């Protein structure tokens, strides 16, 4: 029987000083609460319920696949669990409770906690950590035998308890039935006047129910984010963890501190990521591709052996062996086929560029279909927008577009046709034709010579 998870995410997070609820803040493009929900799922929890409250609608939209229950007033972590009681009425066995502000928790750790509780048949298993500086955390109080007697919050600690360096990480695995049987016994008789979930531990211990504990190997994993400083710390830890995973799988990064990769990005081996590269969203990069320096690639596909230099890609697709940049901007729907090129200062959107075709310099190509082996000269612009509607430009295989051509859509340039440089093309061009639209050049013989002898200095 799989475990159930409950993610507490109703708090405001006043120390973030933000209009956004704390758990909605992002790390590498993904909201904190989504990391926690995913860790629970990957640990094998077959049902995940999130408690929302502060900014509930915002938070619920960030975990669309998750069941959510509301805690309208935030009366403490114990109260948050009370709010989930009805939703969890049929939950039996292990109930994992996680904090939405602890995004670094690993699935393996959650799984180990579940196992520890089940093996011991305990009422609860606590995840604890040894912190060099335990300030702010609840302390784990143990008897001489080593048995856990309770958790005391920082604000309720005696002097001696303050010195305890074993802390509560806010991650627990309860026996669901035992938890709900005892939950009504919580009170608000403490320094913060809240229902503390942590008080369950002393209630269990007093009744002689078994309390198990697991100490996390790396305390950073349980870092709770309460401020922007801790948000940056957590982002750094996540960045290192993700980059290490990719480097061990065969990805080269000359300076991994300057490469930021979202958790859902897929990278094939032998790709190389140069400094100041951001790969975000559902980006997929093929074998041997080189990205950067200075690239931002979001929700895009970069094919095997492609090169993306100093460019921005949003929902774009770059085929195998294609080259992008320096300083190209590929917007949604830009699809570059194999061995094609979007060169320097080129913007492309909602356009397919056929195999081997090139848009090498200073162009805007929007709403176009470009065939194979087309050359688009420097400074070409598809005039796709008439102020009301967008229109398509079709450039068939093997066409040659002269430099500085204005292609006024809707328009079709036939296969193998040529447009002369500096032409504004407003009518379809038949396959194989030359279209030229330019006023004739005039030449005034001797003009320059005369100007000089006119007494110009």
Q: Tokens standing for 355?
A: 């195999």
Element housing 49 (H / E): strand 47-52
Q: In the bound complex, which residue of the shown chain has the CB atom lying closest to ligand UD1?
A: 138
CA–CA distance, 376 with 290 (Å, rounded to integer):
24
Q: Which of 25, 79, 361, 373 is catalytic?
A: 361
Least spacing, CB of residue 81 vs Ca ion, in Å: 15
233 binds Ca ion (CB under 5 A): no
Of 9 and 183, the one with the shorter C-beta distance to ligand UD1 is: 9
**Is-contact 7 49, C-beta < 8 A?**
yes
The encoded tokens of residue 403 equal: 């430099």
Tell me which stretch binds ligand UD1 (CB under 6 A): 98-106, 251-259, 353-361, 377-385.
98-106
Alpha helices in 158-225 (DSSP H): 159-162, 176-182, 199-206
**Residue 10 binding target from ligand UD1, Ca ion, none, CB below 5 to 8 Å by type:** ligand UD1
The token duo for 60 is 């619920």
- Count the helix, strand and coil residues of the chain and give each as a percent rounded to the nearest 5: 25, 30, 45
Q: At closest approach, how far in Å is the CB of 117 from Ca ion?
A: 22
Output the smallest distance, CB 159 to Ca ion, in A: 23
Closest CB to Ca ion among residues 103, 319 = 103
Task: Candidates 219-227, 252-260, 315-323, 388-396: pick the segment binding Ca ion (CB under 5 A).
Answer: 219-227
Burial class of 199 by CB neighbour count within 10 A (0 to 12, 13 to 18, 19+) = buried
Least distance between Ca ion and beta carbon 227 (Å) = 10
Residues 100-129 within binding reach of ligand UD1 (CB under 6 A): 100-101
Choose between 231 and 334: whose C-beta lies nearer to ligand UD1. Answer: 231
Per CB under 6 A, does 197 bind ligand UD1?
Answer: yes
Based on CB atoms, which residue is closest to ligand UD1, 225 or 336?
225
Name the one range near ligand UD1 by CB under 6 A: 3-11, 269-277, 299-307, 362-370: 3-11
Candidate residues 29, 44, 219, 224; the one interacting with Ca ion per rule CB under 5 A: 224
Q: Which does 151 bind (CB under 5 to 8 A by kind): Ca ion, ligand UD1, none?
A: ligand UD1
**Which of ligand UD1, Ca ion, none binds 198 (CB below 5-8 Å, type-dependent)?**
ligand UD1
In the chain the first and final C-alpha atoms are separated, in Å, by 96
Number of residues that bind Ca ion (CB under 5 A): 1
Cβ neighbourhood burial of 340 (10 Å; 0-12, 13-18, 19+): buried
Has 373 been annotated as catalytic? no
| Closer Cβ to Ca ion, 224 or 333, answer by number | 224
How many angstroms separate the CA atoms of 408 and 419, rounded? Answer: 13
- Measured between alpha carbons, how far is 303 from 279 in angstroms, rounded to an integer? 14
Binding mask 137-176 for ligand UD1 (x = CB under 6 A): xx------------x-x-------------xxxx------
Q: What is the DSSP string of 347-402?
A: EEESEEE-TT-EEEES-EEESEEE-TT-EE-TT-EEE-B-SS-B--EEE-TT-EEP
| 77 forms part of the interface with ligand UD1 (CB under 6 A) | yes
Residues in contact with 298: Cβ distance below 8 Å, sequence separation at least 6, in sequence order: 29, 278, 280, 281, 283, 313, 314, 315
| Per rule CB under 6 A, count of chain residues that contact ligand UD1 | 27
Angle CA 410–412–413, to nearest 5: 140
Contact 170, 224 (CB under 8 A): yes
Residues 212-241: x/- map of binding to ligand UD1 (CB under 6 A)?
------------x-----------------
Say which entry of Ca ion, ligand UD1, none residue 402 contacts (CB below 5 to 8 A, set by partner kind). none
Question: Are the beta carbons of 39 and 105 closer than 8 angstroms?
Answer: yes
Task: Compare residues 235 and 297 and give the one whose CB is closer to ligand UD1.
Answer: 235
Give the C-alpha distances (Å, rounded to integers) separating 311 from 10, 256, 276, 294.
39, 19, 11, 7
Q: Which is nearer to Ca ion, 99 or 382 (CB)?
A: 99
Q: Which of the residues are catalytic?
A: 361
Site of interaction with ligand UD1 (CB under 6 A): 8-11, 51, 71, 74-77, 79-80, 99-101, 137-138, 151, 153, 167-170, 196-198, 224
Site of interaction with Ca ion (CB under 5 A): 224
């Amino acid at each position: 029987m799989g475990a159930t998870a409950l993610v507490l995410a109703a708090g405001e997070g006043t120390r973030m000083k933000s209009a956004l609820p704390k758990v909605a803040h992002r790390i590498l493009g993904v909201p904190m609460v989504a990391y926690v929900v995913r860790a629970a799922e990957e640990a094998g929890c077959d049902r995940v319920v999130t408690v929302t409250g502060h900014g509930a609608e915002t938070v619920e939209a960030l975990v669309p696949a998750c069941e959510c229950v509301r805690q309208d007033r935030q009366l403490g972590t114990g109260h948050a669990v009370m709010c989930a009681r009805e939703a969890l009425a049929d939950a039996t066995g292990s109930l994992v409770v996680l904090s939405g502000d602890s995004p670094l928790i690993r699935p393996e750790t959650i799984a180990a906690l579940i196992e520890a509780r089940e093996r011991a048949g305990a009422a609860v298993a606590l995840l604890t950590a040894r912190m060099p500086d335990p300030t702010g955390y609840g302390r784990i109080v143990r008897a001489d035998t080593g048995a856990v007697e309770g958790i005391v919050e920082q604000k309720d600690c005696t002097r001696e308890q303050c010195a305890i360096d074993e802390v509560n990480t806010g991650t627990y695995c309860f026996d669901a039935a035992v938890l709900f049987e005892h939950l009504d016994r919580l009170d608000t008789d403490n320094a913060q006047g809240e229902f503390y979930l942590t008080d369950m531990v002393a209630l269990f211990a007093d009744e002689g129910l078994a309390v198990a504990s697991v100490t996390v190997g790396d305390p950073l994993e349980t870092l709770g984010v309460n401020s922007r400083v801790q948000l940056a710390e957590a982002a750094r830890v996540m960045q290192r963890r993700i980059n290490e995973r990719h480097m061990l799988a065969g990805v080269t990064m000359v300076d991994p501190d300057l490469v930021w990769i979202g958790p859902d990005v897929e990278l094939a081996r032998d790709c190389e990521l140069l400094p100041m590269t951001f790969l975000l969203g559902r980006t997929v990069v093929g074998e041997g591709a080189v990205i950067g320096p200075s690239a931002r690639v979001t929700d895009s596909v970069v094919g095997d052996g492609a090169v993306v230099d100093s460019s921005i890609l949003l929902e774009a697709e770059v085929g195998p062996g294609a080259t992008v940049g320096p300083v190209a901007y590929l917007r949604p729907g830009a699809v570059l086929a194999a061995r094609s090129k979007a060169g320097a200062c080129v913007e492309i959107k909602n356009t397919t560029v056929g195999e081997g075709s090139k848009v090498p310099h200073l162009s805007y190509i929007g709403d176009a279909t470009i065939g194979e082996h087309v050359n688009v000269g420097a400074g070409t612009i598809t005039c796709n927008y008439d102020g009301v509607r967008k229109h398509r430009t079709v450039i068939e295989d093997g066409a040659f577009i002269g430099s500085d051509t204005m292609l006024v859509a809707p328009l079709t340039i036939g296969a193998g046709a040529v447009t002369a440089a500096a032409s504004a093309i407003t009518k379809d061009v038949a396959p194989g034709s030359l279209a030229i639209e330019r006023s004739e050049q005039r030449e005034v013989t001797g003009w320059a010579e005369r100007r000089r002898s006119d007494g110009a200095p």
